[in-house]
């Protein structure tokens, strides 16, 4: 019996493209030079966004944030293979998929502040992004519940003969949830066009994988449900893309679901409310080294291909930070949602009792402002 746990690298089982012996002139399958640059720039955008939102939270300008430092390849690799009509059911760490699919940065920034332009109208917890036009469905704080929704959406597409694919993500800890079991059972039986990504970043908040799962690898769980599964180096953006593209093609061809374990590492805290130094050492530094960091590895590969320069690197970072800073500055100066918006989207037609409460609240608020005008300067 092997002593390896689901949290170990077990490199023999990992799909990789950026191996040490990769030829300098070898482009990853299905990708052009322009694709590779776009993917690299997409990973930089996610890290720069993390950098900005972390600083905003630490300075008290926003209340909460979730970062995904070290997991950029997971988001960009899976997103690059998507088509516009595909559906995405994320958990709270996949906002980079939104960014990569072209959602404007101000949409993300407005959500950080919960201002009046926030698509969730200030009613959602920060990091629960949503975007209807790109089929990016708001996540839930309850672990695993979105998996059932994703499988259901995929089944609806199958009934309607819709060529879309539904993708969803769950962390390593989420694979122990009841809804993971229910979703995989359903997917294995009815074969909807769904791809389930296990983002094995090795910690479920403070709990390492080995303490919550006895399986040697997490993708091994697929066999018990009759769902084809593969384990991928989640810090190899081109391997993530390759596995995703093949799984999406299977789904579109009517061949059913795929379970993909993306082995990566959460280099930052679980959220801005977490202190990872209390449960792990300095291993995060190793995962941000030149050998493991997904951005550094892609950069090295691009150097082999002769499509990277220091000037290009500096330009990408400068332009990206400028766009992010502009979006967050605008979001910070956008007013909060009005009190009246509390009553929007509750009923199609506001019932009389709720209308009376709304009118009473607005009258009281208006009178309070007149009575105390100038007493509470910003």
Looking at the DSSP assignment, which residues form a beta bridge with residue 261?
Answer: 198, 231
- Read off the tokens for 200: 């094995």
Q: Confidence band (pLDDT; 50, 70, 90) for 361?
A: confident
Q: Identify whether 358 is a catalytic site residue.
A: no
Instruction: For the chain, give the mean pLDDT.
Output: 92
What pLDDT shows up at residue 378?
43
Of 332, 347, 362, the one marking the end of a domain is 332
Q: Identify whether 279 is a catalytic site residue.
A: yes
Q: What's the gap between Cα 175 and its chain centre? A: 17
Q: Are 39 and 76 in contact (CB under 8 A)?
A: yes
Q: For residues 160 and 168, what is the distance between their CA atoms, to the nearest angstrom?
A: 20
Q: Identify whether 270 is a catalytic site residue.
A: yes
Please check whether residue 6 lies inside any domain of the structure.
no
Given its phi and psi angles, is residue 188 left (phi above 0), alpha (psi -120 to 50 degrees) or beta?
Answer: alpha
pLDDT in tens, 164-218: 999 999 999 999 999 999 999 999 999 999 999 999 999 999 999 999 899 999 9
* Owning domain of residue 346: 339-371
Q: Confidence band (pLDDT; 50, 70, 90) for 26?
A: confident
Instruction: Given the residues 113, 266, 297, 301, select the one marked as catalytic.
Output: 266
Tokens 């059972």 map to which residue? Answer: 185
Same domain membership, residue 362 and residue 248: no
- The angle formed by the CA atoms of residues 138, 173 and 295, to the nearest 5 degrees, is 75
Instruction: Given the residues 52, 93, 101, 270, select the one marked as catalytic.
Output: 270
* pTM exceeds 0.95, yes or no: no
Same domain membership, residue 362 and residue 317: no
Instruction: Given the residues 279, 280, 347, 356, select the one marked as catalytic.
Output: 279
Please check whether residue 3 lies inside any domain of the structure.
no
Same domain membership, residue 366 and residue 305: no
């Amino acid at each position: 019996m092997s002593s390896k746990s689901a949290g170990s690298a077990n490199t023999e089982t990992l799909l990789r493209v950026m191996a040490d012996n990769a030829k300098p002139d070898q482009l990853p399958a299905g990708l052009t030079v322009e694709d590779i640059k776009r993917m690299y720039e997409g990973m930089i955008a996610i890290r720069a966004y993390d950098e900005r939102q972390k600083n905003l939270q630490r300075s008290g300008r926003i209340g909460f944030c979730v970062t995904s430092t070290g997991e950029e390849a997971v988001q960009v690799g899976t997103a690059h293979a998507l088509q516009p009509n595909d559906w995405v059911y994320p958990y709270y760490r996949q906002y980079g998929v939104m960014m990569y699919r072209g959602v404007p940065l101000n949409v993300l920034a407005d959500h950080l502040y919960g201002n009046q332009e926030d698509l969730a109208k200030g009613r959602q917890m920060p990091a629960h992004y949503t975007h209807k036009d790109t089929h990016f469905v708001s996540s839930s704080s309850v672990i695993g519940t979105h998996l059932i929704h994703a499988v259901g959406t995929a089944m609806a597409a199958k009934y309607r003969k819709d060529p879309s694919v539904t993708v969803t993500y769950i962390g390593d800890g989420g694979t122990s949830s009841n809804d993971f079991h229910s979703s995989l059972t359903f997917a294995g039986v009815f074969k909807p066009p769904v791809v389930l990504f296990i983002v094995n970043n090795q910690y479920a908040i403070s709990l390492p994988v080995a303490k919550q799962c006895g399986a040697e690898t997490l993708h091994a769980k697929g066999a018990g449900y009759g769902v084809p599964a593969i384990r991928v180096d989640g810090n190899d953006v081109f391997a993530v893309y390759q596995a995703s593209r093949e799984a999406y093609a299977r789904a579109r061809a009517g061949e059913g679901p795929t379970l993909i374990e993306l082995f990566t590492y959460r280099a930052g805290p679980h959220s801005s409310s977490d202190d990872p130094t209390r449960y792990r050492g300095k291993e995060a530094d190793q995962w941000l080294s030149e050998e493991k960091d997904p951005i550094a590895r892609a950069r090295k590969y691009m150097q082999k291909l002769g499509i990277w320069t220091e000037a290009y690197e500096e330009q990408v970072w400068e332009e990206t930070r400028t766009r992010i800073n502009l979006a967050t500055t605008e979001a910070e100066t956008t007013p909060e949602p009005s009190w009246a918006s509390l009553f929007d989207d509750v009923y199609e037609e506001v019932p009389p009792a709720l209308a009376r409460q709304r009118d009473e609240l607005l009258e009281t608020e208006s009178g309070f402002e007149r009575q105390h005008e100038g007493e509470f300067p910003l």
